[in-house]
Structure 1
């Protein structure tokens, strides 16, 4: 690997790490306001690691399913669904606890942020539309 490639990699890692730290800090602050309790710093760190690792694939899977259901005209839009996911992790980790109201509010806040971030997404083409047929022709 060249020095230029190493610099690029380090800059990317720094940017991603900074974004993760900022979002994790904001989530911690919101959860602390909503009644987050933890036994040790290690249990809190483990909670955020499990939450972060499990949240990303879950959101990707849910987004793909919602877009597929939108494409098939089973649901009218994929932009109005809020995923309530945090309570599963809270139940699995006895050393970290959050009140039910805190889980609900946190999930709604995070869901609202996600919902607002995808409002301008064009979404998948509807089955039977010209754009859908064009995609179908390209695949075949």
Structure 2
């Protein structure tokens, strides 16, 4: 019973967070010129956007961290994450716009939305720790922990 209660609470908190972010994104997109035919098409747009944006967000976080760990970048918090996030979000919005006839947003509105969300993600990531360098002692300790668990 306690496991079920914990799962229900976690799912509820997660849904509230997703709905809150979606509402914020809806307001922002509406200000930037999002047009839709029906509430159903708007809901479908946000379902598609949310399910595709989550893996893209993971990728945009992973690429700069991997480049930092290998020494290609000095930091994983610079301009690269902003450019990646802006580009991926813009492409995602325009792809959904292209394939859904009942949704329309200008490329300028999509670009502004992508830039605003990228800057928001960047500000939220600013306090996260940098990944260790691939040749550092910390990286070797992490690698040893992973190998010892196998």
Q: TM-score range by the shorter chain?
A: 0.7 to 0.9
Q: CA deviation at 1:131?
A: 1.8
Match for residue 5 of structure 1? 3
Match for residue 111 of structure 1? 118
Distance of 1:29 and 1:116 partners within structure 2: 20
Alignment of structure 1 residues 73-84 onto 2, 5 Å: 73-80=71-78, 81-82=81-82, 83-84=85-86
Q: Alpha carbon RMSD of aligned pairs, Å? A: 1.7
Length-normalised TM-score, structure 2? 0.82
Distance of 2:143 and 2:3 partners within structure 1: 39
List gaps (5 residues or longer) in structure 1. Answer: none
Length-normalised TM-score, structure 1? 0.87
Alignment of structure 1 residues 1-140 onto 2, 5 Å: 2=1, 4-80=2-78, 81-82=81-82, 83-84=85-86, 85=89, 86-139=93-146
Describe the superposition over 1:47-95 as per-residue Cα deviations: whole angstroms up to 9, x where unpaired: 0000000001111123222211111111222223221323332223221
Task: Count how many residue pairs are aligned between Structure 1 and Structure 2.
Answer: 138
The answer to which of 19-28 and 60-69 deviates more is 60-69
List gaps (5 residues or longer) in structure 2. Answer: none
Distance of 2:95 and 2:134 partners within structure 1: 34
Q: Secondary structure at the match of 1:126?
A: coil
